[in-house]
Every structure is written in structure tokens, then in C-alpha cells.
Structure 1
Amino acid sequence: MIRSFVPADMTSVLSIWLSASLQAHDFIEPTFWQGKLDDMRDHYLPSADVWVCERDGQVGGFFALQVNMLAALFVHPDVHGQGIGSALLAKARLLSPEPLELSVYQRNAQAVAFYQRQGFCQIDLRMDERAGHVELVMRACDELPLGKSATDGGEDTALL
């Protein structure tokens, strides 16, 4: 069941975020992520529309949406491959008033492949100065502005 975040979910959401971040971003020092827990709890999550996926009374994943920007989508490593990420992304796409965009570290190949399978294309690159790594900015290919195509070499579209 995908439902809106409630304050009682905070411990589970932070645990999922930290464990998934450590696993998916092994190219970034663990202390970086550990040092961001307070920011997640006090700033990032409260500033977003957060939804969780609950199964058998346990939160297995969540996403945070800021208008049309998918600020976070994390699934606990123990339940990867069970469709939770796909279900969460589908819900985020439904809630977004505009075409959904996101950023993902270029070196996080598993996440990049996931978003590509879900129909997202790279539209930009940027450096995350805090972590010192390149991020891909992606948008749903089927939601590109009229007249743009992921395959026509349009000015605001770049293929991976």
C-alpha cells in the first residue's frame, strides 16, 4: 500500500534512506551520508510531499516530491527487486502536476538503469559540489515538451 507519510514513519524513512544511500553510493564516504541525517529529518523531508510503501506493516520504501522534482526515491536494500521502486515512481508521476524530473549520480549505474527502464532520459549533467560527483538530470521521455524527442538530438535532450 502506498500512502502519505505520517510522523510515525520518520524513523523507518531515515533508516531506509541511510542504508540505501550507503549501498547505492559506495563511491561516497559513509560519513557524508551519516552527516546528512539531521538535514533529511529537519529540512528535506518536511519541505516535500513524502509517500511511503508499506507492506505487512513495514515501510519498505519512500519518495519525496517537490512539485515536479523527484527529490528522493529509496527502497530498503532488503526488499529490492520486489516492485516497490516502480510502484513508488508510478505514484510520484501521478502526483506531479508537470513532467517529472529527477537527478541521480552518474556512478549509480543501478539507479540510472532503473530510471531508463521506467522511461526516463538524460536532459542535463551537473556537478554536485557537496559530494563531488556528477549527477544526471533526467525527465520522463514520454513527457518531453512537444516538438522534442529523446532521439532527434533536440537541444534539451541528451542520451546516455
Structure 2
Amino acid sequence: MSSESNVTIRRATAPDAAATADVWLRSFAAALPSVVRPRSDDEVREYFRDVVVPLRETWVAETTDPGNREIVGVMVLNGDLLSQLYLAPDRRGHGIGDRFVALAKERGPQGLHLWTFQVNKPAHRFYERHGFVAVEYTDGSGNEEREPDVRYVWRP
């Protein structure tokens, strides 16, 4: 895996909301084609604009190429919950996710937890590689998508 040295990670600001939502939409569609989203694209964009960016600890990965700055990843923390980690599909496997997880662990040194869908096997491998352990499997009745999921926990 190559590291993306032309990518910086920083806190999201209000003007980032639309691009951040677009990364989420593209990533979700590519990684989870069988999962039915309960919200329209416009509702997702509104949620990022009105809730995620202003009210959550939202981080973005942005290219640093002069004249071509682009948001290529998003990570959202809500206390000890790593609630979102999505990368532009063409940026997977280049170390950005590793950098996000390292930052999440730095921000949550007592431990973290997250949910991912059971069908998302690449996410399982990714989180397990970073020391997260699956501790709970559900039938999906507790999430909006009604998709079976798994809860992972990381303890230092």
C-alpha cells in the first residue's frame, strides 16, 4: 500500500459539507451496493450540512495539490463512537483510512467502538487489522437500513 503524502487531514468546516456528503454517497454506493439506503441523496446532503459537520467531530482528508484541492475522505467521531469512515472509491488502499483510524485512536485513547454492516467484509478486515474486535452481531432491526450489522470495539 502506498501512502498518500499529498493528502492532509483536517477538521471539516461548514463549506466542506456538500463535498463531504458526496464522498459519503459515492463510497456507500461503491462499497455497499446491496444495502438499501433509507434516505435520498438530498436528505444525506442536508444531514451532513445540518448535523454532521456542525454538531459532530468531523474530519476530512483533502488533496493538497495546488489548484486541485478535493475532499477524498470523511471520518466522524461522536464521543467514543467512530460513526463514519468513508473514502472516495479511488482512494481506498492508499493509507488514508489508516491515518483516520490513528487519529480516532488519538482522539479516543480510552477506546472506541463502531458499527459496520455484516456484508462489508473489506471493512471487517480493515478494522480487525487495526485491533478492533467484533463483539456483537445483530439482525439489523436497530438500524435505519434494516441490514444485519456488527459492532466492533477497540481497547488500548
**TM-score higher than 0.5:** yes
Residue number in structure 2 paired with 1:15: 22
Deviations 1:86-129 (A, max 9, x none): 10111111011530111100111111111111111111123244
Deviation at 1:4, TM superposition (A): 0.9
Aligned to 1:71, the other structure's residue is in SS state: strand
Percent identity over the alignment? Answer: 25
> Residue 133 of structure 2 contacts residue 153 of structure 2 at CA under 8 Å; is this kept in 1?
yes
Aligned counterpart in structure 1 of residue 59 of structure 2, from 47, 51, 61: 51
Residue number in structure 2 paired with 1:34: 41
Aligned to 1:82, the other structure's residue is in SS state: coil
Instruction: Supply the AA of the counterpart residue of 1:73.
Output: L
Comparing 77-86 and 52-61, the one that deviates more: 52-61
Q: Is 1:138 matched up with 2:146?
A: no
> Residue 37 of structure 2 contacts residue 145 of structure 2 at CA under 8 Å; is this kept in 1?
no
> Residue 22 of structure 1 contacts residue 33 of structure 1 at CA under 8 Å; is this kept in 2?
no
TM-score, reference length from structure 2? 0.82
Residue number in structure 2 paired with 1:150: none
Q: Is 1:75 matched up with 2:87?
A: yes
Residue number in structure 2 paired with 1:87: 99
> Residue 118 of structure 2 contacts residue 148 of structure 2 at CA under 8 Å; is this kept in 1?
yes
> Residue 67 of structure 1 contacts residue 97 of structure 1 at CA under 8 Å; is this kept in 2?
no
> Residue 101 of structure 1 contacts residue 138 of structure 1 at CA under 8 Å; is this kept in 2?
yes
Q: Is 1:3 matched up with 2:10?
A: yes
Residue number in structure 1 paired with 2:76: 64
Unaligned runs of 5+ in 2: 1-7
Distance in 2 of aligned mates of 1:40 and 1:8: 11
Query: CA separation of 1:129/1:61 partners in 2, compared to 1, >3 Å: closer, same or farther?
Result: closer
Q: RMSD of the TM alignment (CA)? A: 1.9
Aligned to 1:81, the other structure's residue is in SS state: coil
Query: CA separation of 1:119/1:15 partners in 2, compared to 1, >3 Å: closer, same or farther?
Result: same
Distance in 2 of aligned mates of 1:129 and 1:94: 28
> Residue 60 of structure 2 contacts residue 73 of structure 2 at CA under 8 Å; is this kept in 1?
yes
Distance in 1 of aligned mates of 2:109 and 2:98: 19
Structure having greater relative contact order (Cα 8 Å, sep ≥ 6): 2
- Number of residue equivalences: 142
Instruction: Supply the AA of the counterpart residue of 1:46.
Output: P
Distance in 2 of aligned mates of 1:30 and 1:131: 6
